[in-house]
Structure 1
Amino acid sequence: MEKKEWSFGTMQAKVKAENGQLTWSLFGNGGSSYPLRSVTGVQYEKGGFMAVMGAFVILVAGGDNRRVQVPSKDASAQIVADINNYIAAYHQAQQTPVPKPTSSIADELTKLANLRDAGVLTEQEFQTQKARVLG
């Protein structure tokens, strides 16, 4: 998936997703990095009444959750929703099976005929496999 970065605006609180990692940083300093495959999601916890700070929580399989202070504002909640959408898409992409290359019936019959002509298959084996391919 493409590299993505989100900024909470103040305190230079940022979250970045790239190379299969989810990384947060605060005040421009490196924070922690987690493999995206182990991140189950993120949460936003708004601060109490009149609070200017909330919390951004990275939810990691195994319970090693990380809580980071971020501004308590509506934009923070939207950023968290965007990050959760990215994480969900990442996990979905990891689960999507890669289709096997398919060959046509004609390709299969050509391969079988080549094996027969090369002496690898007998005529009877060729006919049996041909019947299997033609189904």
Structure 2
Amino acid sequence: MPGLLRGVARTAIIAGTASAVNGRVQRRQAEKFAGRDAQIYADRQAAYDQQTGYQQQAAPAAQPAQPVQAAPPSDPIERLKSLAELKDKGVLTEEEFAAQKARILAE
């Protein structure tokens, strides 16, 4: 019996040591890969931020600033004249002009 007990004890010690070493190796690898993954994420985020930053800077430059227009005159005749000027300049299409003219005349 003492030989059997000694064998069981030796197996238990070896198994316990193996489990402890395995757990330590897994923790170390997890920390290593977590650091690597965090670095990859940071690099990708920086590249994304840089790319979107360029797009945000380019977008306002691509679109010219619209001048602030004054409130339309309250007189319907003046409003129709200013509407006709916009149509003559090409700002309004014929359909838009007709729709706005109908709206002014309906008021």
- Report the TM-score when normalising by structure 1: 0.27
Structure with the higher fraction of residues in helix conformation: 2
Structure with the higher fraction of residues in strand conformation: 1
Q: Which protein shows a greater Rg?
A: 2
